[in-house]
Structure formats: structure tokens, C-alpha cells
Chain A
Amino acid sequence: MNAAFRIPGAGRLSQAKTASFSFDGRSYIGIEGDTLASALLANGVHLVGRSFKYHRPRGFLSAGAEEPNALVQIVRDDARKTPNVRATVQELYDGLTANSQNRWPSLAFDVSAVNDLASPMFSAGFYYKTFMWPKSAWKSLYEPQIRSAAGLGVSPDRPDPDHYAARYAHCEVLVLGGGAAGIAAALAAAETGVRVIFADEQAEFGGSLRFESGAKIDGENGYAWAQAAIAKLKAMDNVRVLSRTTAFGYYAQNFVGLVERVSDHLKAPGRELARERLWQVRASRVVLATGAIERHMVFANNDRPGIMLASAARTYLNHYGVAVGRNVGVYTANDSAYAAAIDLKKAGVNIAAIVDLRDNPTGPMIDEARGLGIEINFGRAVIRAGGKLRVSSMTVQPKNGGGERTIPVDTILMSAGWTPSVHLFSQSRGKVAFNEETRRFVPGTYAQDCVSVGACNGTDGLDAAIDEAYAAGVKAAKEAGGKDSSVKTGKGAKPKVDASESWSRGMLGAAPGAGPGTTVKAFIDFQNDVTAKDIRQAVHEGMHSIEHVKRFTTNGMATDQGKTSNMHGLAIAAETLGKPIPQVGLTTFRPPYTPVTFGSIVGHARGALFDPTRRTATHGWAAAQGAVFEDVGQWKRAWYFSKAGEDMHAAVNRECVTVRKTAGLFDASTLGKIEVVGPDAAKFMELLYTNPWEKLEPGRCRYGIMLREDGFIYDDGVVGRLAPDRFHVTTTTGGAPRVMHHMEDYLQTEFPHLNVWLTSITEQWAVIAVQGPKSREIIAPLVEGIDMSDEALPHMSVREGKICGVPTRLFRMSFTGERGFEVNVPADYGEAVWEALWAEGQKHGATAYGTETMHVLRAEKGYIIVGQDTDGTVTPNDAGLDWAVGKKKTDFVGIRGMARSDLVAKGRKQLVGLKTKDPKVVLEEGAQIVDDPKQAIPMKMIGHVTSSYWSENCGLSIALALVAGGRDRMGQTLYVPMPNGTIEVEVTGTVFVDEKGGRLNG
């Protein structure tokens, strides 16, 4: 059963293979190979959407990617509701469900269409002028209203269940655009043996050969020739042919992004198929064969459903076998629309009249149309279209004025000429040039190794296009290393054009009846509802740059990126300004050429694959013990270990008390570790850290501070000297990569004379901190070859030996203020050694503890965390760490920066301790501090809280803070104003537990 407008025998699809689909809940029958657009047109459906601003009824303008009007929502299931799909691009599959957008309650009766009547309110720039007052109404009233009325489609509200593939590819010649020119270029390049990638956005290659019934190449119909050429290219090992693939972005050095639509055209794509595939191609040479796009005529009500581009009607007829109407009017300013009239007439469709703006054009097409008995009116204009949900008439008038005549039609085909698609060329940073004779922007100055051929280069005529493209394909391939000799000559080489159609010229800007002084709705940009009048108004209101006109009117700013509208808008702006077009200039083309899904850009990098996860050797053990983890950079770190019934607070309190009473085990593996080795290792350390290192004895450790050249603290950590020429440096967890980078920078570029090697050993060593009064008893039974006594292994020392039979670097050091050790073992043994230590620890009642307890314990001792208690503007002196700066040193990174006047001035923020007057109140980290809570708002803030915890060991809340002149304020009362009231605090020293440090030494 054929749909009413399908012409038996016409088109290239097999009309027997039907596919059912629904649009807005109604069922229709299409055929395989249809687009949603051709299938709807076959059923006589033209009304498919409402416009963005005025909610005017809209139909199909085009048959391709430039479509501004026919945007629909494709619904596969609850999670797959894709909005803004161009019906002219969406391929039909059996069971396809589509809905119209931007209408309520129905497409034919849309309440918001009242906007059309109220259009004086919505003129150009209305966003900037209206709804400005009262200010408070913007958030609550205007914006929500505008958003709900002006939306295009509805986003899906569930995670995207599809997956998206990605490929990187390299080739010598990348050919973009699969029309006659692209095919010729690809054939030429392929025959030289170089790698060729050839992409086209359509399901089938052929470009305009899909509708050009008059083209004949190598003795065949143009489209058949194209299919044969593609089959030949596909069979070549050095050629990759990609259909349904859009080159959306042209980036630096011939790097081109393409999206291949893999399964959107399938009825039930299997899970193994990606929805789309992103191709990132690096090509030695790029051949642009992107064709040209037909422009519409700008006249009153030119947006009514049933009014479309002439080439679109030809495509629907010659490819899909669909007549777009039964009584067709044609309005043109160039020859190509005649071909549409001729094809339709021959297919049995009545052509009511051709209206041609030109005075006395001549040519074979005009003769043929006349010969078929079609009425032709020269020197006349269509000044308005009648009808609302579908065009019903066209009113014709001599172009210089005179009597009107209204001709009933159900369709109007229009052609104002063709615009070369210079989008990708322009994205490649090439500069376009205006050809005065043809009034077109064509590629001018190239910025990259690419070449434009055919219609996108302004080359008219099939013969000339193929000549140019073939030569360009050979040249590009040869420049990229292709073999000259293998290029065939004679038969089978360059395609020979036996017959072709040709046209050129046309017009830019508003047609008669929509010129200056008129107020009719003659649309330029259909998708953003921009009319000729809007452009003129923008100029009159002072927008003299085309970039300003564009933004003020939103011309060309919709998802179609002005493919049909840019040149008309520019011409009207130029006319209004009284300047030639090239002086007004074209707006810049930017990626993407057509909309690209986020999915295709994200690819597989989402969910668990968004970012790598780093786990320490004890991760599995900790998880089994009920640890709760926190993210620290890419690391998962045990945060606290909850026992049955404990909340976080209870668990942390227990861990804190147990460590100070007996002992605790903590996984410190994430700390950055760098080995600094070489004869000049100590000299290098002297330059990179503030501390003196030359005299540090092997076997001893020192707390080091690293500055940037500006004198501010960059990182810190304990450094052990294993041998005269070997330092084991630790860094903060988050700082490891940047510290390594910083060290390498100085070693390679400032101090290259130093004989030093740097190796990141973070992942090589698992680190188990055993801290607390019982720590030595826990470790000692497992250690071989190291004297663990206080005399032999005092605080801040390091020994190499064995633990549990495996090598260890055993540090005696503490981040808790208790006697403590850090057991470094090769990461592969980390879990086994941890379990052995844990078993020993159980005998002494030790606990495992996490990062929260680690934070509390170090804060009780006033040990800073770089990045928490410092923020990139804190000097060693500010942090109370002057003792760690070598006073006799003459050079280290930061020595000069640290001496800058502002860094040594009085009143700088200094690190102090805070105790709340009510010991139960725990301050909020980041809270601001003032000295007088009664002062007027805004108060003068003198500092902020950097660390704050409940200390179960002290039985009170403790905090560290940076406070202006803090060390001179000991004992002072300061105030922390919070939303629920002001908190009183007392300034104290930074050490809350064991101020003398006796516990450290056992």
C-alpha cells in the first residue's frame, strides 16, 4: 500500500519494503531508505513543528543537514528521547516514534501562537530590552516563562543507556564530502596508494547527484556512477569509506573531528553496537568537497508549511519517489528551480506557475520548461504566501510594483541561488574572499594543508568540478608521498562527464515586497525567527558590525548555525548600512558544523571510567574491616573504621584515644615519595628545600619545606638520608606529581650541572604507619637486622633492613606526636606485612585508623597540612616554621621571594590555635574571624579557621587558624560570627597535646 504522495516507479527506493512509524501519535507507512521527512511528505504531512519565538507553524525547508524547521523528538524508550533531531536527516526504521516540539496543547492548535500576534513585543533585541523591570520578577516570573515558552524539545531525564565509541586515525588524504567532486578527489588520491579516509554525512554517497537527474558520468546516470565509484573505493585496502559521518570540527594542523552515526538508523540496535563513533583524524592533506547549500527567497510568510527549497523537492522526488504537492508554484532568481519544475511536471505534478525575478533569462532549462507548457513569469515577485498551517496561494506582482494576482498553490519551491559551504574551510582559519561577479564568499587564503574543490570552492558545473577535484586529489596524494606512476591515465582514471546541469548566480537579501520600509514577516533565519525587518532594525539601533547584528538579532545562532540565513542577513545589513558586502564581512564559522551529542565527545570516559581510581595495597583488607573510604585526588583512602553501632564521630573518638593510649595502624602509602640520588643529591636538596641538608647524617631524617620562587610554601614532608648520595623524600599525597615536576624543572633547566637523578617511588613502597606508645612492641618481633632501641633508632631516623622477611625502609617518625614508625615495604608485600603487624597489634589492643583520625591527631600537635592550613600565600614564618629555614644558606628556591617587603611586613596572617569558650562547640573550617562582633557589616575579617576538630583526647574542640598578627594575640578573645550566632574563641599556641614533645621520644 503506497502513501498518497508516493509516485509509483519514481525514486530509487524499493517501494515494496514498507516500514511503519508514528508522528504525534498517528501511525503512518513509509518505506525502507526513507528519511522521516520523506516518509511524512509521502503521507502529505508538511506541518511538523512550531517556531522558536513566534510559535508559527513550520514544515520542511530542505532535505538535508541545513534544515532549520523540521526538528522533532525521536523516542525509543524512557531514556532515549532525543530532542531537536532534524527529520530530514533521521533515517526511517520500522517502529520509529517521533513527536513534534514546542507546541501546546497540539501542533495544529498552539496556545503560544499568540506570540505571533504580539510580535511587536518580540522584535530584535527583545531579550535585552524587555523584562528588565522589576528586577525581582526576572528570576520568579520572566525567565521561567520565557524558558518554558521558548524551549526546543525536552531533554531526556534519565542517564543515557547507549555507549559511544572513539577512534583515532591517521591518513595522507582526508576527503570530506561525498558528492561528485569528493568522489573524484578520493578516486584520484586512492590510486596513488596513500591512505585515504573519505567521509560523507548522508547514508549514501552522491551529494547533489541524488537529485540532479541530468548528470551523466562515464556513460552512467550520475547517481549510479557514484555508487559504482564508492564500491570500487570500498574494495581498496588503502581507503576507508565512512558514510553517515559528519566532519564537525576542523582543528589545528589538519586534525579533524568526525562523528559517525552507527545505529540511530536501526530498528533495534544490539547492545554491542555503539550509538555513535567519534573519529579524530590527523591527515597530511585535507580535500574539502563540502558542496553548496541552496538559499530560500525572502518574502512575506515564506515560512508557511509547504514552502521549501527547490533542490529539496527534487531530492524527495528523484531519490525518495515523493511528490511534495499536487499544485506547485515556483519562485526563483536562478535556473536551478526550473529543473525542479521540469522533474515534477514530468512526474505528473501540476506546476501552477514559475515566478522568476530576473527580467529575460535564457537557457536550455527555461526552454525545456516552456516546452512542457509551464507558465513562466519573468520580472515578477511573489510578495506574499497565503495559508497558515499549509501554504494555499502565492500572490504575484511585477517586481517594480503593479497589479497583484493570487495563484492557488499547495506548495512553493524557491531558490535564491547557492551558498558555497565554506564552514570547514573557515574553521581551518582560512580567510574567505568575496567574488564580486558571482556575489559569493569563496575560499581565499589558506591557513592549513587543505584544498577546496567543487561547489564549496565556487566552481560551477559538474565538468569543471570533477576536473578540479581529480587534479586536487592527485596533487594532495603526491605531496603526502603518493606514487606518481601509479596514477592511471586513460580509461578508468579521471571520470568523464557526458552530460550535466549547470546554473549559477541568484540573489542575496530581501525580495521585492520585503524591502526597506516594509513590516512583513519575511524570514531570513527560520529557526530563530529572524526577519528581514529585524536586521534593518538592528542596524538602525546602532549595530554596525555584522558580529553585533548577529548577536542582537540572533541571526545564525540557532542549531542550524545559519546555513541558509547568513548570506541573506549579511546582504540586508550591508544594504541598510550602505556598504559593500565585503566591508561588512562574514561572521566567523566555529565548530560544530551540525550539533554533536555530548555522548560522542565523552565516549567511554564516564561513570567508573571517568577517572582512574588508585587503591593502596591494604584496600581490600580495609574494606573487609568496614572502612569508609574518602576520595583524595584519585586515591581511595580509608576515612575511618566503624565498629558495630558506631557512627563516624564515635569511631574517630575511639581511634584517637586508642592511638595515644596503646597504638594504631594507618596506611600512609598515598604519600608521594621521590628518591633523589647522585653525587650532588645533597646540593640539590639544599637548593630545593629551605632546610640545610649537607650535614644531615645518613640514617637521619629531617622535616623539609619546599617553597616556590615567590617564597610561599609549596609542599612539605619528611626526608630520610639513606646514604650520602641518596635521599628518600616524601611529599603530600596531592602534591606528589607537581613536586616531581618542580624538581625536574629546576634540575633540567636551572641546575643542570648537578649530577642527580630523580625517581618517583610512590607506587613502589607501601607505607604502614604504626603510631603510639606500644608501636615498638608491635613492630620489633617482625624486624630483622635493625636495632630498635631509642639510642640506636631515635626519633627522626631511618634504617634499612627486613620485616617479615622482606626488605624495608623503616622510618622512626611521627605525624601523631606519639612514638611512631613508618614501615616502607615493596608494595606487593604491603597487605601481607600489614596483616602481620595487625596480628601483633591485636595483642596490644591497637586499632586501625583512617584519615580523619590522622587529621585530628596531627592537629592536636599543631602539625600543618599544606593546602589546608596553607593556601599558597603562607610563608614559613607565617606558619611558625622559621626554624626549618637554613639561616646560613645563600641560595634555595624561594630565598629571594621570601624577603620581599610584603612578606616580612608586620600584621601578616599567622598560624595560631583557637579554643572555643564553650569547649563543646566545634568551629566550621573556613569560618571568618573578627575582633569586634559589634562592628557594622561588612565587618573587617582578620583571619579564618583552617582546621577544626573535636579532640576526644583533650576533651574540647580545637582549631588552627590564620589570624592577622596572630602570634601577638595569645590569650586574646576573638569572634567567629556564624548564621546561628557569634562564637567566642581564645587565641592559643598551636600545640594542644604534649607541648614539650616528650611522648615523641618514647
Chain B
Amino acid sequence: MLLIRCPYCEEERPELEFRNAGEAHVVRSTNIAGESDDDFEKFFFIRSNPKGVIYERWRHIHGCARFFNAVRDTVTDKFVMTYKAGEPKPAKLPGASK
């Protein structure tokens, strides 16, 4: 069972307290009704599904109930870092050489 650090509780808690909520940094248009088919397809259907580092959303559903973002390696399942919802995608990951 993974340990996940909730950036709001500032604590590592067991995976059982959390629920994954899909890919992060997928922005919903403020003019969604006017979006083209292609743009809506990209927004709603297309996900990166990488082998390696993924940016994804989690919710501390059985804890503080907040949604937050996490960087996880899909190969090792290791969490690189977590950060609050609304914060920008980190430019540099901890442990990365550049």
C-alpha cells in the first residue's frame, strides 16, 4: 500500500484514505460551449497515459476531502511530489538533474 503525502494535511497517509481523480492540468475552457469538436475531444477524451512521470489529481477523500495534484512514476508507483490544486505544474522535479 502506497503512502501519499497530502499537501493540505502536510502528512503522509495510507493510500486507503485517497482516491485517484485522473490526469491533472487538463483545463476546462471558460467558453466550453463554443469549443470546436477537436478542442473538446482533447479536453474530454485524450489523456497522456505515459510510461514514467504522470501528473495526476488525487483526493484525500477519507481525510480533509481536498483535491490536490501529484507527480507519480507509473513504472515504480513512486510519488515524486504532491502539491495543492491550482498551483502550476512544477517546472523542476525534486531529484531531477535539470
Contact between A253 and B67, CB atoms less than 8 A apart: no
Contact between B3 and A895, CB atoms less than 8 A apart: no
Q: Which residue of A lies closest to B12 (CB)?
A: A253
Contacting residues, chain A, for B28 (C-beta < 8 A): 709, 750
Q: Kindly provide the distance from the CB of A787 to the nearest chain B CB, expressed in whole angstroms.
A: 40
Q: Kindly provide the distance from the CB of A887 to the nearest chain B CB, expressed in whole angstroms.
A: 12
Contacting residues, chain A, for B57 (C-beta < 8 A): 749
Q: Does A255 contact B (CB under 8 A)?
A: yes
Contact between A897 and B40, CB atoms less than 8 A apart: yes
CA of A54 to CA of B32 in the docked complex: distance in angstroms?
A: 68
Contacting residues, chain A, for B44 (C-beta < 8 A): 709-710, 897
CA of A50 to CA of B66 in the docked complex: distance in angstroms?
A: 58
Q: Which residue of A lies closest to B79 (CB)?
A: A253
Contacting residues, chain A, for B93 (C-beta < 8 A): none
Contacting residues, chain B, for A696 (C-beta < 8 A): none
CA of A252 to CA of B86 in the docked complex: distance in angstroms?
A: 29
CA of A749 to CA of B26 in the docked complex: distance in angstroms?
A: 11
Contact between A745 and B67, CB atoms less than 8 A apart: yes
Q: Kindly provide the distance from the CB of B25 to the nearest chain A CB, expressed in whole angstroms.
A: 10
Contact between B65 and A744, CB atoms less than 8 A apart: yes
Contacting residues, chain B, for A280 (C-beta < 8 A): 1
Q: Which residue of B lies closest to A708 (CB)?
A: B44
CA of A253 to CA of B79 in the docked complex: distance in angstroms?
A: 10
Contact A251:B32 (CB < 8 A) given known A709-B44, A741-B59, A741-B61: no
CA of A745 to CA of B26 in the docked complex: distance in angstroms?
A: 13
> In the complex, which of the residues A252, A749, A752 has the most CB atoms of chain B within 10 Å of its own CB atom?
A749
Q: Which residue of B lies closest to A747 (CB)?
A: B67
Q: Which of A429, A748, A899 contacts B85 (CB 8 A)?
A: A748
Q: Does A890 contact B (CB under 8 A)?
A: yes
Contact between A748 and B32, CB atoms less than 8 A apart: no
Q: Which residue of B lies closest to A758 (CB)?
A: B65
CA of A709 to CA of B43 in the docked complex: distance in angstroms?
A: 10
Q: Which of A252, A745, A895 contacts B21 (CB 8 A)?
A: A745
The size bracket of the interface on B is: 20 to 34
CA of A251 to CA of B77 in the docked complex: distance in angstroms?
A: 11
Contact between B76 and A749, CB atoms less than 8 A apart: no
CA of A744 to CA of B63 in the docked complex: distance in angstroms?
A: 14
Q: Does A697 contact B (CB under 8 A)?
A: no
Contact between A253 and B1, CB atoms less than 8 A apart: yes
Contact between B61 and A900, CB atoms less than 8 A apart: no
Contacting residues, chain B, for A251 (C-beta < 8 A): 1
Contact between A895 and B77, CB atoms less than 8 A apart: no
Q: Which of B2, B40, B59, B65 contacts A253 (CB 8 A)?
A: B2
Q: Which residue of A lies closest to B36 (CB)?
A: A896
Contacting residues, chain A, for B40 (C-beta < 8 A): 896-897, 900
Q: Which residue of B lies closest to A889 (CB)?
A: B33
CA of A255 to CA of B59 in the docked complex: distance in angstroms?
A: 22
Contact A744:B2 (CB < 8 A) given known A896-B33, A900-B40: no
Contacting residues, chain A, for B17 (C-beta < 8 A): none
Number of residues of chain A lying within 8 A (CB) of chain B: 25
Contacting residues, chain B, for A282 (C-beta < 8 A): 3, 14
Contact between A900 and B21, CB atoms less than 8 A apart: no
Contacting residues, chain B, for A899 (C-beta < 8 A): 33
Contact A749:B65 (CB < 8 A) given known A741-B59, A897-B40: no
Q: Does A939 contact B (CB under 8 A)?
A: no
Contact between B1 and A252, CB atoms less than 8 A apart: yes
Contacting residues, chain B, for A252 (C-beta < 8 A): 1-2, 77
Contacting residues, chain A, for B76 (C-beta < 8 A): 429, 447
Chain B, residues 13-42, CB within 8 Å of chain A (1/0): the string is 010000101000000101011010100100
Contact A896:B32 (CB < 8 A) given known A255-B1, A749-B86: yes
Contacting residues, chain A, for B2 (C-beta < 8 A): 252-253
Considering only residues 868-916 of chain A, those with a C-beta below 8 Å from chain B are: 890-891, 895-897, 899-901
Q: Which of B21, B35, B66 contacts A896 (CB 8 A)?
A: B35
Contact between A895 and B1, CB atoms less than 8 A apart: no
Considering only residues 78-98 of chain B, those with a C-beta below 8 Å from chain A are: 85-86
Contacting residues, chain A, for B37 (C-beta < 8 A): 900-901
Q: Which residue of A lies closest to B39 (CB)?
A: A896
Considering only residues 232-283 of chain A, those with a C-beta below 8 Å from chain B are: 251-253, 255, 280, 282
Considering only residues 722-751 of chain A, those with a C-beta below 8 Å from chain B are: 741, 744-745, 748-750
Q: Kindly provide the distance from the CB of A751 to the nearest chain B CB, expressed in whole angstroms.
A: 9
Q: Which residue of A lies closest to B4 (CB)?
A: A253
Q: Which residue of B lies closest to A740 (CB)?
A: B65
Contact between B33 and A253, CB atoms less than 8 A apart: no
Q: Kindly provide the distance from the CB of A704 to the nearest chain B CB, expressed in whole angstroms.
A: 19
Q: Which residue of B lies closest to A255 (CB)?
A: B1
CA of A357 to CA of B79 in the docked complex: distance in angstroms?
A: 52
Contact A895:B67 (CB < 8 A) given known A251-B1, A252-B77: no
CA of A901 to CA of B59 in the docked complex: distance in angstroms?
A: 33
Contact between A748 and B67, CB atoms less than 8 A apart: yes
CA of A34 to CA of B77 in the docked complex: distance in angstroms?
A: 45
Q: Kindly provide the distance from the CB of B72 to the nearest chain A CB, expressed in whole angstroms.
A: 11
Chain A, residues 747-761, CB within 8 Å of chain B (1/0): the string is 011101000000000
Q: Kindly provide the distance from the CB of A611 to the nearest chain B CB, expressed in whole angstroms.
A: 16
Q: Which residue of B lies closest to A737 (CB)?
A: B61
Q: Which residue of B lies closest to A752 (CB)?
A: B86
Contacting residues, chain A, for B14 (C-beta < 8 A): 282
Q: Which residue of B lies closest to A429 (CB)?
A: B76
Q: Kindly provide the distance from the CB of A113 to the nearest chain B CB, expressed in whole angstroms.
A: 47
Contact between A253 and B66, CB atoms less than 8 A apart: no
Q: Which of A748, A900, A901 contacts B66 (CB 8 A)?
A: A748
CA of A891 to CA of B31 in the docked complex: distance in angstroms?
A: 8
Contacting residues, chain A, for B32 (C-beta < 8 A): 891, 895-896
> In the complex, which of the residues B21, B32, B35, B40 has the most CB atoms of chain A within 10 Å of its own CB atom?
B32
CA of A897 to CA of B40 in the docked complex: distance in angstroms?
A: 8
Contacting residues, chain B, for A750 (C-beta < 8 A): 28
CA of A897 to CA of B77 in the docked complex: distance in angstroms?
A: 33
Q: Kindly provide the distance from the CB of B85 to the nearest chain A CB, expressed in whole angstroms.
A: 5
Contacting residues, chain A, for B61 (C-beta < 8 A): 741
CA of A703 to CA of B28 in the docked complex: distance in angstroms?
A: 26
Q: Which residue of B lies closest to A252 (CB)?
A: B2
Contact between B3 and A253, CB atoms less than 8 A apart: yes
Contacting residues, chain A, for B1 (C-beta < 8 A): 251-253, 255, 280
CA of A900 to CA of B85 in the docked complex: distance in angstroms?
A: 29
Q: Which residue of B lies closest to A257 (CB)?
A: B1
Contact between A891 and B59, CB atoms less than 8 A apart: no
CA of A310 to CA of B33 in the docked complex: distance in angstroms?
A: 78
Contacting residues, chain B, for A901 (C-beta < 8 A): 37
Q: Kindly provide the distance from the CB of A67 to the nearest chain B CB, expressed in whole angstroms.
A: 31
Contacting residues, chain A, for B33 (C-beta < 8 A): 890-891, 895-896, 899
Q: Which of A255, A709, A749, A900 contacts B67 (CB 8 A)?
A: A749
Q: Kindly provide the distance from the CB of B42 to the nearest chain A CB, expressed in whole angstroms.
A: 12
Q: Kindly provide the distance from the CB of A280 to the nearest chain B CB, expressed in whole angstroms.
A: 8
Q: Kindly provide the distance from the CB of B80 to the nearest chain A CB, expressed in whole angstroms.
A: 14
Q: Kindly provide the distance from the CB of B35 to the nearest chain A CB, expressed in whole angstroms.
A: 6
CA of A251 to CA of B14 in the docked complex: distance in angstroms?
A: 13
CA of A447 to CA of B78 in the docked complex: distance in angstroms?
A: 10
Contacting residues, chain A, for B66 (C-beta < 8 A): 748
Contacting residues, chain A, for B65 (C-beta < 8 A): 744
Q: Kindly provide the distance from the CB of A897 to the nearest chain B CB, expressed in whole angstroms.
A: 7
Q: Kindly provide the distance from the CB of B20 to the nearest chain A CB, expressed in whole angstroms.
A: 12
Given contacts A709-B28, A745-B67, 8 further A-B contacts (CB under 8 A): A282-B3, A447-B76, A710-B44, A741-B59, A749-B86, A890-B33, A891-B30, A897-B40
B contact set with A: CB distance below 8 Å: 1-3, 14, 19, 21, 28, 30, 32-33, 35, 37, 40, 44, 57, 59, 61, 65-67, 76-77, 85-86
11 pairs, A vs B, C-beta closer than 8 Å: A251-B1, A252-B2, A429-B76, A744-B59, A744-B65, A744-B67, A749-B85, A896-B33, A897-B44, A900-B37, A901-B37
A contact set with B: CB distance below 8 Å: 251-253, 255, 280, 282, 429, 447, 709-710, 741, 744-745, 748-750, 752, 890-891, 895-897, 899-901
Closest 10 CB pairs of A and B: A896-B32, A748-B67, A255-B1, A895-B33, A253-B3, A252-B2, A749-B85, A750-B28, A749-B67, A896-B40
